Amino acid sequence: MSTPLIELHAVTRRYENGPPALRDVSLTVREGEAVAVLGPSGSGKSTLLNLVAGLDRPDEGTVTVAGTRVDGLGEAGAARYRRTKVGMVFQFFNLLDDLTVLENVVLPARLAGMRRAAARRRAHELLEHLGIARHSAAHPARLSGGERQRVAVARALMNRPPLLLADEPTGALDSASGADVADLLMELNGEGQTVVVVTHDLELARRCTSRTVRLVDGRVAMDEVTVR
């Protein structure tokens, strides 16, 4: 068995009103795994992902990623952690519209202090690898949804993070583009990338992951290994 990359221990997260978004969740994800987090809307999937990404903090419990206690980080520490340890992909792409595709992809590396030339070389490689190199000078608004999500994935992978997090990456895409992005994630996982995907799309879960975690009302209702 490979080493654990994500360890959630007895995590609870409450918002001001309503029942806790997550209650007493414990979960371990190992290096090289591809995990789908499934569940109905409002079940706490995004909350779980945000905790792992260091965007949010648990009220109880601990979150450890790649040996770092994520729940104990300050703002600047969390930023440094995200820069180096995680790449994130969102439902609505969240590309910066005023930057070109290439500039979007280069940005995380520049934030992490990589030299300009090296960053551009790496970005070109990635765009090439993801099959969107021909759009590198374009602005994201010009691209189709599937292409935009590829750019977002390239940006997420820029700093070679050990962990790739995706929140409903196909939620805003038609089924063909969705399948395309799913294939991409599977391919990346095949190359050894640890991937956690939040989705309510069973098809996506079956296609690209080896394990499904089902959340209901903020609890882990099921955790099973799937065969793809």
Q: Does 170 bind ligand ADP (CB under 6 A)?
A: no
The answer to the question of residue 46 lying near Mg ion (CB under 5 A) is: yes
**CA angle, 195 then 192 then 124, to 5°:** 90
CA 69 from chain centre, in angstroms, equals 18
Out of 23, 82, 150, 214, name the contact with another protein by CB under 8 A. Answer: 82
Among 6, 43, 188, 208, the residue binding ligand ADP under the rule CB under 6 A is 43
Q: Which residue shows structure tokens 């601990």?
A: 62
Count residues near another protein (CB under 8 A): 31
Instruction: Give which of ligand ADP, another protein, Mg ion, none residue 149 binds (C-beta under 5 to 8 Å, depending on kind).
Output: none
From residue 105, give the alpha-carbon distance in Å to each of 1, 34, 110, 132, 167.
Answer: 33, 23, 10, 12, 19
- Collapsed DSSP state (helix, strand, coil) of residue 210: coil
Q: State how far the alpha carbon of 3 is from the alpha carbons of 6, 30, 183, in Å.
A: 9, 6, 25
Binding residue (CB under 8 A) for another protein from 9, 14, 30, 83: 83
The length of the chain is 228
Shortest CB 174 distance to ligand ADP, Å? 21
Residue 41 interacts with ligand ADP (CB under 6 A): yes or no: yes
Residues 111-150 close enough to bind ligand ADP by CB under 6 A: none
Q: d(Cα 70, Cα 76) in Å, to the nearest integer?
A: 12
How is residue 192 annotated by DSSP? T
Closer Cβ to another protein, 39 or 212, answer by number = 39
What is the binding site for ligand ADP (CB under 6 A)?
Answer: 15, 18, 21, 39, 41-47
What is the binding site for Mg ion (CB under 5 A)?
Answer: 46
